[in-house]
Structure 1
């Protein structure tokens, strides 16, 4: 079945919580994604396989020129098929259409080939302060 991508698509919180738990290896919780996204994000992209949520990416922003890719996740059954790169591509298009000039991402080392090669980000200098032990 073909995958479709939807900028600021409608979704069910429980389906996104389940996808997030699968992708990030934790138990499903009761995050109110809709409220979080409406409060902090310029947009998000949902990937659909029929009526099933197959992937998701959040595009947070500073209210101006800078957008930030967060929570990129693809269902296990769809991994390795280009769904993640297509999600990030749709996120870049949506952020550009919303007037953002920059799309940032930070990632763990094992995701370097995905973000730099598959998605087209370029490496930049950045800094990070850990605010908790999580």
Structure 2
């Protein structure tokens, strides 16, 4: 059974390991706890038997727009609906906080996940590399 928790407690090391696995990079020493508490509306932690198997960050503009960032699921928990549940919990809590919109940017390979599984609709957007 997977337990989903809005603004759940986590250790930076466990998010760094999960993020490195999910995004195929070396394990970093990022201070996720400070980052999300300073800049985010919230986040969702997914745990199986106490082990972090999923995470999503929900940034926002302080008003009605929320943004899904860093959706990641451990390899051992993929293809079991964990990612979809992370996004569902994020959307529910963003709505409860007064947000009207939930945005997400994604790579083309994730299109079926976000559009078909999670219910996002395609929109026109722009990106400026800085």
Give TM class, smaller chain: over 0.9
Q: Render the CA deviation track for 1:16-74: whole Å, top value 9, x for unaligned.
A: 00000000001111100011001110000000001100000000000000000000000
Q: Provide the C-alpha distance between the structure 2 equivalents of 1:39 and 1:58, rounded to a whole number of angstroms.
A: 12
Report the aligned-residue RMSD. Answer: 0.5
Equivalent position SS for 2:13? helix
Q: Provide the C-alpha distance between the structure 1 equivalents of 2:60 and 2:49, rounded to a whole number of angstroms.
A: 29
Equivalent position SS for 1:4? strand
Say how many residue pairs are matched.
130
- Matched with 2:121 is 122
Unaligned runs of 5+ in 2: none
Q: Render the CA deviation track for 1:71-130: whole Å, top value 9, x for unaligned.
A: 000000000010000000000011011111100001000000000000000011110011
Q: Provide the C-alpha distance between the structure 1 equivalents of 2:14 and 2:31, rounded to a whole number of angstroms.
A: 11
Q: Provide the C-alpha distance between the structure 1 equivalents of 2:6 and 2:97, rounded to a whole number of angstroms.
A: 11
Runs of 4+ in 1 over 2 A off after TM superposition: none
Using structure 1 for the length normalisation, give the TM-score.
0.96
Unaligned runs of 5+ in 1: none
Using structure 2 for the length normalisation, give the TM-score.
0.99
Q: 1:80 and 2:74 equivalent?
A: no
Q: Provide the C-alpha distance between the structure 1 equivalents of 2:11 and 2:33, rounded to a whole number of angstroms.
A: 8
- Matched with 1:25 is 24
Equivalent position SS for 2:87? helix
Mapping for residues 9-88 of structure 1, pairs under 5 Å = 9-88=8-87
